[in-house]
Amino acid sequence: MKAIAYHKFGNTAVLQTVAEAIPAIQSNQVLVKVSAVSINPMDWKIRKGEMKLMSGSKFPKHTGVEFAGIIEEVGNSNFKKGDEVFGVVKNPMKEGALAEFVAVPSISVWKKPATISSAQAASIPIVGAAAVTMIEKMGDINTNTEILVNGATGGLGMFLLQLLKQKGGAITAVASTKAVEFATRWGATTVIDYTLENVLSGNKSYDIIIDLSGKMGYENARKIMKRKSIFLNPTPKPIEIPISLFKNFFTGKKHVVILSAPSSKNIGVLQNAIDKGLQIEINKIFPFTQSVEAYDYAEKGGVVGKVAIKLS
Ligand SMILES: NC(=O)c1ccc[n+]([C@@H]2O[C@H](COP(=O)([O-])OP(=O)(O)OC[C@H]3O[C@@H](n4cnc5c(N)ncnc54)[C@H](OP(=O)(O)O)[C@@H]3O)[C@@H](O)[C@H]2O)c1
């Protein structure tokens, strides 16, 4: 089968199409014929060596964390050949789904909702699970809760805004000019265009701030946090994880690190939200033969929603 692999850390130039054997499955696994893979910032952070502590430096490495496809072979599971599914690889630091076939534990795949495309299904697990985890960490929210989502119209923001809209809450979204319309459509009551206005210079303060851009940071966010408030951080530096836990004892402005993993529970919440109308915007789809172009496009930024690669 064809797969995308790389033999050293670097930019997209290190990505190569390679020929490999179709993986053999173990009894707890299923073999999926991949139809689509969606791109996540995690893919290029691993490839550029920014997550070396977790990924290690052993090559070749593969890329792409989440996929949709058709069950080709089953071990001991309730799936059957031909089922349409979506899922994640077991260890994103060591494996990749951007290949014609992928072998994964059966607990890491779920039935694809019939109402969405394979590219949309392949876009759910990673950012969707993170959005569900964030909402859990927020605790009780109501229409008086002032929530700021910074970087609101990428993959994660798309899910988070719409889940928040279904729950209530006064949402201020920070987005670039061309994404303002999407932020409003997905549930923001106020949208700040970050190319025109610096949210940190405003007078307003928030109960909850979520920074999806990775550019604000907790220390900056403190300036616009209420006395009792939460900063949700999905892009912590390793050192911030223990420090935030310690500092949270002494301040009402809590710094909460988000490390989420797709599970049947949070995927169930997402399937329910999709049934209620959550939209998954696919900004652009590339064929497998243009996987390098797909990553170049996604890594440049300015993408509203997700970028996907289609295999079949
Ligand atoms: N911890 C976890 O479990 C977990 C799970 C999923 C994702 N993540 C991480 O969470 C982050 C968000 O994920 P994602 O998939 O949504 O990434 P994404 O699609 O790249 O979205 C990032 C957003 O930030 C915006 N942005 C860029 N510069 C900005 C600025 N100066 N001010 C405000 N917004 C700005 C971008 O807008 P423009 O492109 O329009 O400029 C884009 O909408 C990534 O770093 C990802 O790795 C963590």
Tell me how far apart the alpha carbons of residues 88 and 263 are, in angstroms, rounded to a whole number. Answer: 10
Tell me how far apart the alpha carbons of residues 206 and 131 are, in angstroms, rounded to a whole number. Answer: 19
Single out the residue of 192, 245, 235 nearest to residue 210, CA to CA. Answer: 235
Which residue is closest in CA terms to ligand 1's atom 28? 213
Level-2 CATH architecture, domain 127-257:
3-Layer(aba) Sandwich (3.40)
- R_g over Cα of the chain: 20
Tokens of 154: 């990428």
SS3 at position 31: strand
Separation of CA 189 from chain center: 23
Single out the residue of 212, 246, 249 nearest to residue 231, CA to CA. Answer: 212
Count the neighbouring beta carbons within 10 Å of the beta carbon of residue 10.
12
- What spacing in Å lies between the alpha carbon of 49 and ligand 1's midpoint? 18
Q: End-to-end alpha-carbon separation of the chain, Å?
A: 13
Tokens of 302: 């300015």
Which residue is closest in CA terms to ligand 1's atom 30? 213
Q: Which atom of ligand 1 is found nearest the CA of 156?
A: 16
Tell me how far apart the alpha carbons of residues 262 and 137 are, in angstroms, rounded to a whole number. Answer: 16
pLDDT at 203: 93
**Domains of the chain: which residue ranges?**
2-124+280-310, 127-257
pLDDT at 115: 97
Q: What is the pLDDT along the chain (312 residues), one digit of tens a residue?
A: 999 999 999 999 999 999 999 999 999 999 999 999 999 999 999 999 999 999 999 999 999 999 999 999 999 999 999 999 999 999 999 999 999 999 999 999 999 999 999 999 999 999 999 999 999 999 999 999 999 999 999 999 999 999 999 888 899 999 999 999 999 999 999 999 999 999 999 999 999 999 999 999 999 999 999 999 999 999 999 899 999 999 999 999 999 999 989 999 999 999 999 999 999 999 999 999 999 999 999 999 999 999 999 998
pLDDT at 147: 98
Q: Look up tokens 């893979």; give the residue.
A: 37
Level-2 CATH architecture, domain 2-124+280-310:
Alpha-Beta Complex (3.90)
Pocket (CB within 6 angstroms of ligand 1):
40-42, 126-127, 130, 150-151, 153-157, 174, 176, 179, 194, 212-215, 234-235, 258-260, 301-303
pLDDT at 169: 81
